[in-house]
Amino acid sequence: MKKIGYVIPVFPTLSETFVGVEIRAMKALGHSVQPYAFSPGQYFQPADEELKQHCRYLSSAPKYPITALGNVFRCHGFLKQQRGFSYLSLLRQGLQLAHLAKKDNCEHLHAHFAWHSTATAIVAAKLLNIPVSFVGHGADIYATPQDISSKLQAADFICAVTKEMQIELQAATERPVLHIPCGIDSTQYPPLTSDWHPKKDFLFIGRLVEKKGLDTLITALSQLPPDSSLDIVGDGPLLPQLQQQAHQQGVASQVHFLGRKEAAWYRQHANDYKALVAPFTIAPNGDKDTGPLVIKEAMALGLPVITTDLAGCNEILENQYGHQVPMNDHMALAQAMAAHRLEPVTKLTELREKAFNRVMEHFTALSQAKRLSAQVDAL
């Protein structure tokens, strides 16, 4: 099986667990994998420690490698098409990546996020005359795309994490666009148990940014009885604003900001809560979540989900594996939360089982890795 070089902007990071999960799934199938990144993350999951030790950062390559300089003609056209990066700086980093990838005997380069990581991977792959692919996630496609058209034409294939994205990207290129959603590591989730006695109400997990819809969530909570509670796990630029909102709306004592947590915390504490509330929306700049992993993890943990009608959520829940309300509608969200809070735990058994079976059948990392692996080895 081909040796794959993974090209990632920052690795490892705490919030992008899907990268490490996918790499480990590809290794489990028999691929040799070498991660490359531009910089390390400040915080990361313990599960990614081993991958971090083996990750090569572009700074470890010679500043001006000349090994593949004679092959610049192969990537000259692509370099000229880039507006987000200067010709010479992108060429230099492409040469650095090519230097490392050749040394490591990589036979395919696969980039996450359609930004600088993808542009650099394409340049390096063309210099080495090996195949290249990339994954579109969210902001890189919808909020701040960079020269996406040229990348769609230059890659051997593209991966989209939602069906909606697959359709949109496929309309813009003749290259194959595969629907490969981010998957969960099923080995980390034991069989669903009926021993579920939640003592808390609602949990939110994620970055504290606009597309998460937290302002709507706090407003919805203010419509619920005063003994309702919400734990918010995560960090981000909106923390001070959200704390102020909770105080102004009289729910400061009901909202607990717990800060960033490792993935293990979610698995250990999910059963303490009656529901995950994820009121996703579309940020003013177009950024939005795509196939949110936190929902798939909740389903695997037997934690009922209350979320919105965002396209990525529709694809996971299909209006029958969780509760969905219109985006930005705090009254509808409050009604769903209030109804769920009063629902006897025994009546939620069927929903929990259906959701668990759904995620284990359609959204495991290994099942998605098999499709990616087949496409890589077919080239």
Tally of domains in the chain: 2
209 and 348 in a single domain? The answer is yes
Which of 10-19 are b and which e, b meaning 16 or more Cβ less than 10 Å from the residue's Cβ? Answer: bbbbbbbbbb
Distance CA 83, CA 163 (A): 28
193 and 134 in a single domain? The answer is no
Q: Averaged over 64-87, what is the pLDDT?
A: 93
* pLDDT band, very low/low/confident/very high, at 371 (cuts 50, 70, 90): very high
* pLDDT band, very low/low/confident/very high, at 248 (cuts 50, 70, 90): very high
Structure tokens at 227: 């003994």
DSSP symbol at 226: T
Which of 10-19, 56-65, 268-277, 363-372 is predicted with the least confidence, judged by mean pLDDT?
A: 10-19
Q: What type of residue sits at position 12?
A: P
Q: How many helices (H) and strands (E) does the chain have?
A: 16, 13
Q: Where is pLDDT greater, at 195 or 240?
A: 240
Structure tokens at 281: 């929306």
Tell which residue, 353, 367, 368, has the closest CA to residue 321: 353
242 and 170 in a single domain? The answer is no
Residue ranges of alpha helices (H) inside the chain are 17-29, 49-54, 76-81, 87-103, 116-128, 139-142, 148-154, 163-170, 214-221, 239-248, 263-269, 293-301, 311-317, 330-342, 349-362, 365-378
Question: Is 58 strand, coil or helix?
Answer: helix
326 and 280 in a single domain? The answer is yes
Per-residue pLDDT tens over the stretch 131-140: 999 999 999 9
* pLDDT band, very low/low/confident/very high, at 357 (cuts 50, 70, 90): very high
Per-residue pLDDT tens over the stretch 288-330: 999 899 999 999 999 999 999 999 999 999 989 999 999 999 9
166 and 220 in a single domain? The answer is no
178 and 209 in a single domain? The answer is no
* pLDDT band, very low/low/confident/very high, at 350 (cuts 50, 70, 90): very high
DSSP symbol at 256: E
DSSP 3-state helix, strand, coil percentages of the chain (rounded to 5)?
A: 50, 15, 35
Per-residue pLDDT tens over the stretch 183-194: 999 999 999 988
* pLDDT band, very low/low/confident/very high, at 256 (cuts 50, 70, 90): very high
192 and 245 in a single domain? The answer is yes
First to last CA, the chain: 11
Question: Is 305 strand, coil or helix?
Answer: strand
Task: Determine what percent of the chain is predicted with pLDDT higher than 90.
Answer: 92
107 and 166 in a single domain? The answer is yes
Question: Is 291 strand, coil or helix?
Answer: coil
* pLDDT band, very low/low/confident/very high, at 15 (cuts 50, 70, 90): confident
213 and 323 in a single domain? The answer is yes
* pLDDT band, very low/low/confident/very high, at 69 (cuts 50, 70, 90): confident
> Which residue segment(s) compose the domain that 12 sits in?
4-183+364-378
113 and 33 in a single domain? The answer is yes
Distance CA 331, CA 216 (A): 9
Distance CA 233, CA 237 (A): 14
Distance CA 17, CA 13 (A): 7
Predicted pLDDT of residue 157: 98
Q: Where is pLDDT greater, at 348 or 193?
A: 348
55 and 129 in a single domain? The answer is yes
Evaluate if residue 14 carries a pLDDT over 90: no
Evaluated on CA atoms 252, 258, 260, 266, the torsion sign reads negative
What does the DSSP assignment read for 66-93? -TTGGGGGGTHHHHHH-SSS-HHHHHHH
Evaluate if residue 164 carries a pLDDT over 90: yes
Q: 257: buried, middle or exposed (CB in 10 Å: 19+, 13-18, 0-12)?
A: middle
206 and 312 in a single domain? The answer is yes
What's 118's domain CATH number?
3.40.50.2000
Residues pairing with 108 in the sheet:
4
